[in-house]
């Protein structure tokens, strides 16, 4: 059986707007710029290289406040931030003392089951320039939902691969609710952002990212607990 995946959710008291998440990320990177293993903080390697893998340190806006969510090796690397940082960060044109509200350590057994689990997925960016055109060409909401479900399944598989997890059964996904998509800006490009609810036979860790832009808080998943 797969080992449980460790995650660490560091929640601050500092309010932040969604558009400021990249600035918050930049402030953290500046704090650990002399770290030997800071590749996990920014996913770039020496020179112009790039770490093409699932981001193990992700920067979020949770409850209106800045947060860092780490997985696997990222939970160990984040210790360098605490060791190197004086918690005085510059976010854009303002300076703030980073106040930690809570640190929560979790373990999630990420695997497929015979039962299904329900989730919300916020600010999900499923569409690339190529499949955006294909999505628009589809006729009817059913065809569009099926198209998005295939992408969501692929996103879950990418997360599992990035965390070194092999799934024994086929992943199933069904979108159960979807709000009207909105336009958002990611890396200077306007993209369609979706807020959805879905069910899957796969257990996923809270606040993990799916789709594009996960290191900047897009595509944040949260399990809906049974009443």
Q: Could you report the per-residue pLDDT of 24-63, keeping only the tens digit for each? A: 998 888 877 655 556 666 554 444 444 457 899 999 999 9
- Domain shared by 54 and 132, yes or no: no
Q: Which of 85, 108, 131 is the last residue of a domain?
A: 108
CATH number at residue 201: 3.30.70
| Through-space distance between the first and last CA atoms of the chain, rounded to whole angstroms | 29
* pLDDT tens sequence across 102-119: 999 999 999 999 999 999
Regarding whether 88 and 18 lie in a shared domain, the answer is yes
Q: What is the pLDDT of residues 161-218, one digit of tens each?
A: 989 899 989 999 999 999 999 999 888 888 999 999 999 999 999 999 999 999 999 9
Which one-letter DSSP state was computed for residue 179?
A: P
Same domain membership, residue 129 and residue 89: no
Q: Which domain holds residue 9?
A: 5-108
> What six digits make up the tokens of 171?
């992943």
What is the model's pLDDT at position 75?
87
Residues 75 and 171 in one domain: no
Stretch 149-171: mean pLDDT = 94
| 216 contacts 25 by C-beta, under 8 angstroms | yes
- Mean residue pLDDT of the chain comes to 88
Whether residues 149 and 219 share a domain: the answer is yes
128 with 158, same domain: the answer is yes
Q: What is the pLDDT of residue 35?
A: 55
Q: What is the pLDDT of residue 146?
A: 96
* Structural domains of the chain, count: 2
171 and 198 in a common domain = yes
Q: How confident is the model at residue 71 (pLDDT cuts 50, 70, 90)?
A: very high
How many Cα atoms within 13 Å fall on the side-chain side of residue 51?
17
DSSP secondary structure of 106-151: EEE---EEEEEEEEEEEEE----HHHHHHHHH--SHHHHHHHHHHH
User: Could you say which of 79, 108, 137 is where a domain stops?
Assistant: 108
The span from the CA of 48 to the CA of 30, in Å, is: 18
**Res. 83: pLDDT tops 80:** no
- Asked if 62 and 144 sit in the same domain, the reply is no
The residue among 108, 141, 173 that closes a domain is 108
- Print burial letters for 168-179: b (CB count within 10 Å at least 16), e (below 16): eeebebebeebe
């Amino acid at each position: 059986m797969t080992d449980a995946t460790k995650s660490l959710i560091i929640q601050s008291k500092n309010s932040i707007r969604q558009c400021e998440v990249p600035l918050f990320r930049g402030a953290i990177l500046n704090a650990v710029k002399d770290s030997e293993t800071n590749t996990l903080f920014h996913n770039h390697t020496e020179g112009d290289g790039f770490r093409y893998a699932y981001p193990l340190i992700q920067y979020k806006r949770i409850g209106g406040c800045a947060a860092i969510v780490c997985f696997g090796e990222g939970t160990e690397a984040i210790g360098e931030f605490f060791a190197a940082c004086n918690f005085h960060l510059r976010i854009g044109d303002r300076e703030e003392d980073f106040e930690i509200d809570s640190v929560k350590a979790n373990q999630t057994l990420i695997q497929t089951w015979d039962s299904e689990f329900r989730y919300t997925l916020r600010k999900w960016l499923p569409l690339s320039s190529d499949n955006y055109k294909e999505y628009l060409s589809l006729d009817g909401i059913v065809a569009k939902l099926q198209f998005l479900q295939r992408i969501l399944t692929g996103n879950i598989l990418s997360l599992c691969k990035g965390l070194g997890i092999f799934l024994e059964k086929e992943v199933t996904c069904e979108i159960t609710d979807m709000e009207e998509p909105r336009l958002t800006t990611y890396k200077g490009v306007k993209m369609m952002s979706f807020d959805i609810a879905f069910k899957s036979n796969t257990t996923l860790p809270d606040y993990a990212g799916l789709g594009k832009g996960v290191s900047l808080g897009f595509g944040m998943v949260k399990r809906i607990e049974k009443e």
